[in-house]
Chain A
Amino acid sequence: MYATTYVKATDVADAASRLDAADDGKLLAGGMTLLPTLKQRLANPDCLVDLAGCDLGGISDDGDSIRIGAMTRHVDVANAPVVQKAIPAVAHLAGHIGDRQVRNRGTIGGSVANNDPSACYPSAVLALGGTVHTQNRSIAADEFFTGMFDTALDEDEIITAISLPKPEKAGYVKFPNPASRYAMVGVFVAKFADGVRVAVTGAGEDGVFRATDIEAALDADFSVGAIDKVSISADGLMSDIHASADYRAHLIAEMARRAVTACG
């Protein structure tokens, strides 16, 4: 890696001002993506602002939703009784990110801010119609994920927490890339009283997206069979050495069927 400066912010305001003072500063959450990137010299920030001391962890029950602090690690989301009870699909998702080492360091805020097109969390936040809270404002999931590795966050804007509404039921199933264990395709299905929301990660050229055709089919008939009637186009899907666009289209339907089954 290149030489850089490390600072441990004392709170969110301190982190924002440190970031603002740097030429090309980066926020450090769990570091599970950023640190490998630095090691490979793919990034060269002049300042790393560590959020570990900003008291951004913790999970609370807000009645109709659960609120997860940005620095909450995957392992803590997976093991939290409140998450397991209210949205077991999110506990399951968090418990299957990467490997044990990654889950012990990686955070929900880091994952959502990075918006890796193959990350698991963006699909949950989008399918559940979640809200991303920053030090300045609250952003609806439908407005937050704006493209591959791209979000509605302004420069120097820091995610403080994520709110996830409690669905009637939800399910998440991914087809992991055998090598990296990232989602080659992951589908999150969430059923609310006013309709079904379905988000797909790992597949879209523009990152996570809502599968509106599947949503319409499940709105009419919430069953595995309903997905058989949906024709999923390979247009706009990623094609790489691990999976072609048409195979990903096939996997979207299959993972959606399994996610509906996982809803119970």
Chain B
Amino acid sequence: PMIVHGQVHGGIGQGVGQALLENAHYDDNGQLLTASYMDYCMPRADDLPSMQVDCLVTACTHNDLGVKGCGEAGAIASPPALINAVIDALTPFGVTDLSMPATPEKVWRAIQDAQAKAAE
């Protein structure tokens, strides 16, 4: 159903934000520095690819209607999928871990650090 596909799209968008973009940055005094959307990066439509959602329909056995929630599925699955993909891409450099969000500078620095370590 369209509402399920829409929920999954939104969930994946939220997960992409968490994995790649969104960063609540505080200074040493506890002041939030990313206090507007000029600094805090919410995922936008052009940050996301087109998606095709497939459903494997299994009825829930714990209630009479057989229904279950679907909104969180995309949000839960997409960050590990994305971060695993980033780590996989960085494996040749010897990078084994990266904290979210995997921003361009963080990825670049992980590569720099790994290369510096390898050169020692």
Question: Taking beta carbons and an 8 Å cutoff, which residues of A are in contact with B?
Answer: 175, 178-180, 241-244, 247, 250
Indicate if the CB atoms of B108 and A242 lie closer than 8 Å. Answer: no
- Complex contacts, A247 vs chain B, CB 8 Å: 105, 108-109
Nearest B residue to A254 via CB reads B108
Q: What are 6 A-B contacts defined by CB distance under 8 Å?
A: A178-B104, A179-B37, A179-B39, A179-B40, A241-B25, A241-B34
Docked complex Cα distance between A175 and B103 (Å): 13
Question: Taking beta carbons and an 8 Å cutoff, which residues of B are in contact with A?
Answer: 21, 25, 33-34, 37-42, 47, 103-105, 108-109
Indicate if the CB atoms of B109 and A179 lie closer than 8 Å. Answer: no
Docked complex Cα distance between A175 and B108 (Å): 14
DSSP class of B's interface residues: helix, strand, loop or mixed? loop
User: B41: which of A178, A244, A250 is its contact (CB, 8 Å)?
Assistant: A178
- Complex contacts, A244 vs chain B, CB 8 Å: 105
Indicate if the CB atoms of A179 and B25 lie closer than 8 Å. Answer: no
- Complex contacts, B21 vs chain A, CB 8 Å: 178-179
Docked complex Cα distance between A179 and B104 (Å): 13
Indicate if the CB atoms of B38 and A180 lie closer than 8 Å. Answer: yes
- Complex contacts, A178 vs chain B, CB 8 Å: 21, 41, 47, 103-104
- Complex contacts, B25 vs chain A, CB 8 Å: 241
- Complex contacts, A179 vs chain B, CB 8 Å: 21, 34, 37-42
- Complex contacts, B40 vs chain A, CB 8 Å: 179
